[in-house]
Amino acid sequence: MRNPPGFMTNTPSAPKTVTPVRTIALLLCNHAFEATLRNLLETVRRALIYRKGESFPTADEMETIIRDLLVGHYAAFQRRQSNTQEDAGREIEYLKSHVRIQFDEEAQKSISTLDHDNGSYYLDIQSGTIGSF
């Protein structure tokens, strides 16, 4: 079976130990993009379920996947709220330049210390929980 688009794994010549990502946080501090970011995390969650048993993406691979999905999820879930193509272009550039992606301990620290009405979102991979903080 082929991997879904965007989920390419490298086959190293020597085996390496990869610690699976446990938590992903998308920090934006802006509630206006909830539809984009929540649905993006849902897509990541579902893709990981689909890939069960395959090699798990590293944090670097996961960041690339998330950044690749960002514009598409904006177009699918948020674009209708922009009045013009110019507005949409500005919002896409804003997202691309302002979303910070954190993993594991760094993500957990942000989740536990930031105001839980911060306009940022997380995925706990083990439980499948998607939440905001």
DSSP string, 95-132: HHHH-EEEEHHHHHHHHHHS-TTSS-EEEETTTTEEEE
pLDDT of residue 132: 92
Task: State the DSSP code for 26.
Answer: E
Contact 121, 34 (CB under 8 A): yes
Distance CA 16, CA 101 (A): 24
Distance CA 128, CA 97 (A): 27
Q: What is the pLDDT of residues 106-130, one digit of tens each?
A: 999 999 997 767 789 999 999 999 9
Query: Which region among 6-10, 44-48, 84-88, 96-100 has the lowest average model confidence (pLDDT)?
Result: 6-10
* Model pTM score: 0.81
Kindly state the percentage of the chain with pLDDT values over 90: 61
pLDDT of residue 122: 97
Going by pLDDT thresholds of 50, 70 and 90, the confidence category of residue 55 is confident
pLDDT of residue 118: 78
pLDDT of residue 19: 72
Helix 85-98 to helix 59-77 angle (10° resolution) is 160
